[in-house]
C-alpha cells in the first residue's frame, strides 16, 4: 500500500528515448530519436488576433490564494479547477493561483498564467521567450538536499552551461543502454507477466502496481546504469521502495490525493518534509550506483566534465524521477485502457501483432514500424492521461502569446502554467476530444503527433541541449508499444482495471 500511494503522488514527471533492429533480434536495438518527419506546430501570428487583457485575478495579497488552494486540493480537484475557470472567463488563458501557497509556504509565489489549449501551450517550449530555471513543479522547488545539494539537469535552464553537459550525458546514457534495452525490457516483462499469471491462478486476481515497479526498477537499472540490482540484496528488495519514498516526500506539497480531508491539508500540504526521512535509502541508492555503475559514472566524468557526485545525483534523478516515476504512472493508465475495453480493441491489437510478428518471434523496435494500431493506442493513452499534468515556464522577456482566438501580453518574469489534460482535449485540434479513439494516430492521423505534448515538446520534436524536451521520449513510446505487442503475443485477452488484472487468456 505504501508503494502504491507513493506512485500516485509522483504523477507530475517523466523522462526517458530509442533506434532499431530486426524483429528477430533485439540485443543491438537502438531506437530512432525522431520517429516521425513531421515538423513541430508553429505558433499563430499574434498580430492577426485581437489583443485581450488576460482575465482572472490573484485576489488579495497573501490571502487571495487560499480559496484557489482549497479548490485545487479539496473542493474541485485539478481538472474541475481548470475547467471551471476556463468556462468562467471564456478564455483558455487566464490568471489564477496554483499551490503550494500562503500561509504555509511564504516564500512561494502561487500566481500563474494558466494555459489550457494546444496553440497557447506551444509557447512553453520556445526557449527564446521562456526559461525553465527551477520551475519543474512551479515556483515551489523541493530542497536540493534531495539531490545531494546539486541542481540536477531538470532544474537547469538551457542558458546555463551545465545544462548542455547533463543533457548530452543523458542522451549518451540512452545510446549506451540501447544495446541491452530491448532484451532487458522483454526479459523483465515476462517475469512480471509470470507473476501476474501465478497470482491470478492462486487468488483470482493480481494487484499489479507493486509488480510493475519491481519490473521497472530491474529493467531500468540494468539499461540506464549498467548495474544489476541482484548483486545487492537490499537494493533488489527495497530499491523501488526507496525511490517511492524519495519521490513522494518531494512532491507532497504539490499533489492532490483527494483522500481524507481536512487531514490531507493539515498533514500533507502544510509543510515540506525533511530529506532526513529518506536520506538512508537515498544514500544506499547512491552507493549502489557508485559501486556497480562505475562505467556510466566514468563516462559522465571523462566525456562530459561532471564530478563523480554530479554524475551520480543526475543518474539517480533520471532513474527515479523521470524513468521509474513516469513509467509507474503511465503503464497503469495503458493497462487499464486496454484491459477494461469493451469495444473489441483487444482483438484488433492481437490480430495486428500476430500478423506482423506471430506469437513467438522475438520482438524489437523494428517490429513496431508497421504496428500502427499498437503505436496509436500508446499515443492516445498519452494524450488523455499524460504522466506530466503540469508544464511550467517563466517569461524570459516581454512577449505576445497567441491562443486560437486572442492575443495576450506576457511580462518578463511571469510564470506560465500549462495544464496538459485540458490542452490535449482541445476540440479545435482533436475530433471528439474527450473520447478514447484507438486509431486516432493511424495513417493521416499521424499528423496530430505535432500536438502531442506529453514530453515537454511535440512528439515530432527532437530533444537537444537547446531545449528541455525529454531526452528519452522515443524510448518511452517504443517501450510501451513493445509491452503491448508482447502482451498480445502471449495472450488472447486480458481483463482488469487501473490496479488489478482479473483474468488472462493465453494465446492458442
Question: Which tens digit of pLDDT belongs to each residue from 140-149?
Answer: 999 999 999 9
- What pLDDT sits at residue 5? 42
- DSSP letter (8 states) at residue 93: E
DSSP 105-135: -TT---EEEEE-SHHHHGGGG-TTTEE-TT-
Is 470 annotated as belonging to a binding site?
yes
Across residues 298-309, what is the average pLDDT? 98
DSSP 227-259: --GGGSHHHHHHHHHHHHHHHHHHHGGG-----
Task: Please provide the average confidence, as pLDDT, over all residues in the chain.
Answer: 91
- Residue-wise pLDDT for 459-483, tens only, equals 999 999 999 999 999 999 999 999 9
- What pLDDT sits at residue 41? 54
Across residues 45-58, what is the average pLDDT? 91
Question: What is the C-alpha to C-alpha distance for residues 71 and 114, in angstroms, rounded to an integer?
Answer: 15
Is it the case that residue 14 has pLDDT exceeding 60?
A: no
Q: How confident is the model at residue 104 (pLDDT cuts 50, 70, 90)?
A: confident
- What pLDDT sits at residue 358? 87
Cell numbers at 307, concatenated: 564530478
- What pLDDT sits at residue 360? 80
Is there a contact between 471 and 18 (Cβ–Cβ < 8 Å)? no
**CA pseudo-torsion sign 30, 317, 8, 258:** negative
Burial of 464: CB neighbours in 10 Å, binned 0-12, 13-18, 19+: middle
- What pLDDT sits at residue 45? 64
Beta bridge partners of 399: 410
Is it the case that residue 127 has pLDDT exceeding 60?
A: yes
Cell numbers at 74, concatenated: 479539496
Beta bridge partners of 500: 207
Question: What is the C-alpha to C-alpha distance for residues 415 and 112, in angstroms, rounded to an integer?
Answer: 5
DSSP 456-484: TB-TT----TTS-S-TTHHHHHHHHHHHH
Cell numbers at 473, concatenated: 521520449
- Residue-wise pLDDT for 371-398, tens only, equals 999 999 999 999 999 999 999 999 999 9
Cell numbers at 72, concatenated: 485545487
Is it the case that residue 29 has pLDDT exceeding 50?
A: no
- What pLDDT sits at residue 227? 98
Cell numbers at 475, concatenated: 524510448
Residue of higher predicted confidence among 503 and 35: 503
Domain ranges of the chain: 49-506
**CA pseudo-torsion sign 190, 35, 326, 93:** negative
Entry pTM? 0.92
Is it the case that residue 1 has pLDDT exceeding 60?
A: no
- What pLDDT sits at residue 361? 86
Percent of the chain with pLDDT over 90: 84
- Residue-wise pLDDT for 167-220, tens only, equals 999 999 999 999 999 999 999 999 999 999 999 999 999 999 999 999 999 999
Question: What is the C-alpha to C-alpha distance for residues 338 and 331, in angstroms, rounded to an integer?
Answer: 11
Across residues 322-333, what is the average pLDDT? 97
H or E element, residue 415: strand 415-419
Among the listed residues 386, 452, 423, the one whose alpha carbon sits nearest the alpha carbon of residue 12: 386
- What pLDDT sits at residue 442? 98
Taking domain 49-506, whether its CATH number is 3.30.70.20 is answered by: no
Cell numbers at 124, concatenated: 512553453
Cell numbers at 215, concatenated: 519490473
* DSSP helix/strand/coil, 21: coil
Is there a contact between 110 and 98 (Cβ–Cβ < 8 Å)? yes
Q: How confident is the model at residue 31 (pLDDT cuts 50, 70, 90)?
A: low
- What pLDDT sits at residue 102? 81
Is it the case that residue 82 has pLDDT exceeding 60?
A: yes
Q: How confident is the model at residue 449 (pLDDT cuts 50, 70, 90)?
A: very high
Amino acid at each position: 500500500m505504501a508503494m502504491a500511494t507513493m506512485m500516485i503522488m509522483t504523477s507530475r514527471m517523466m523522462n526517458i528515448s530509442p533506434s532499431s533492429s530486426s524483429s528477430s533480434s533485439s540485443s543491438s536495438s537502438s531506437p530512432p530519436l525522431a520517429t516521425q518527419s513531421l515538423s513541430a506546430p508553429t505558433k499563430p501570428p499574434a498580430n492577426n488576433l485581437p489583443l485581450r487583457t488576460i482575465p482572472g485575478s490573484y485576489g488579495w495579497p497573501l490571502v487571495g490564494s487560499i480559496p484557489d488552494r482549497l479548490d485545487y486540493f479539496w473542493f474541485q480537484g485539478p481538472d474541475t479547477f481548470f475547467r471551471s475557470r476556463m468556462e468562467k472567463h471564456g478564455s483558455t488563458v487566464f490568471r489564477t493561483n496554483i499551490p503550494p501557497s500562503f500561509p504555509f509556504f511564504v516564500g512561494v509565489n502561487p500566481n500563474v498564467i494558466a494555459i489550457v489549449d494546444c496553440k497557447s501551450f506551444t509557447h512553453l517550449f520556445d526557449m527564446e521567450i521562456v526559461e525553465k530555471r527551477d520551475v519543474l513543479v512551479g515556483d515551489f522547488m523541493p530542497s536540493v538536499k534531495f539531490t545531494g545539494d546539486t541542481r540536477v539537469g531538470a532544474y537547469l535552464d538551457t542558458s546555463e552551461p551545465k545544462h548542455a553537459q547533463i543533457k548530452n550525458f543523458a542522451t549518451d546514457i540512452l545510446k549506451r543502454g540501447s544495446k541491452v534495452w530491448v532484451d532487458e525490457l522483454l526479459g523483465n516483462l515476462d517475469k512480471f507477466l509470470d507473476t501476474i499469471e501465478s497470482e491470478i491462478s492462486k487468488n483470482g486476481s493480481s494487484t499489479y502496481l507493486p509488480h510493475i515497479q519491481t519490473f521497472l526498477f530491474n529493467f531500468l537499472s540494468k539499461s540506464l546504469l549498467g548495474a544489476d540490482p541482484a548483486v545487492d540484496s537490499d537494493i533488489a528488495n527495497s530499491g523501488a521502495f526507496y525511490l517511492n519514498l524519495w519521490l513522494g516526500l518531494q512532491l507532497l506539497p504539490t499533489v492532490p490525493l483527494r483522500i481524507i480531508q481536512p487531514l490531507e491539508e493539515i498533514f500533507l500540504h502544510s509543510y515540506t518534509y525533511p530529506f532526513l526521512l529518506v536520506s538512508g535509502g537515498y544514500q544506499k541508492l547512491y552507493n549502489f550506483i557508485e559501486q556497480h555503475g562505475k562505467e556510466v559514472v566514468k563516462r559522465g566524468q571523462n566525456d562530459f566534465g561532471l564530478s563523480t557526485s554530479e554524475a551520480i545525483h543526475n543518474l539517480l534523478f533520471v532513474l527515479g524521477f523521470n524513468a521509474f516515476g513516469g513509467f509507474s504512472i503511465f503503464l497503469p493508465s495503458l493497462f487499464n485502457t486496454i484491459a477494461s475495453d469493451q469495444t473489441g480493441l483487444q482483438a484488433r491489437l492481437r490480430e495486428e501483432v500476430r500478423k506482423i510478428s506471430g506469437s513467438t518471434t522475438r520482438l524489437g523496435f523494428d517490429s513496431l514500424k508497421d504496428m500502427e494500431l499498437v503505436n496509436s493506442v500508446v499515443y492516445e493513452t498519452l494524450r488523455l492521461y499524460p504522466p506530466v499534468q503540469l508544464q511550467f515556464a517563466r517569461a524570459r522577456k516581454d512577449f505576445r502569446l497567441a491562443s486560437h482566438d486572442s492575443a495576450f501580453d506576457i511580462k518578463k518574469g511571469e510564470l506560465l502554467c500549462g495544464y496538459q489534460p485540458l490542452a490535449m482535449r482541445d476540440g479545435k485540434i482533436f475530433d471528439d476530444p474527450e473520447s478514447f479513439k484507438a486509431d486516432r494516430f493511424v495513417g493521416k492521423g499521424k499528423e496530430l503527433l505535432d500536438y502531442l505534448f506529453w514530453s515537454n515538446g511535440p512528439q515530432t520534436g527532437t530533444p537537444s541541449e537547446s531545449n528541455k524536451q525529454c531526452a528519452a521520449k522515443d524510448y518511452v513510446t517504443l517501450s510501451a508499444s513493445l509491452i503491448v505487442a508482447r502482451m498480445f503475443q502471449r495472450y488472447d485477452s486480458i481483463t482488469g482495471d487501473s490496479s488489478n488484472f482479473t483474468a488472462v487468456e493465453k494465446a492458442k
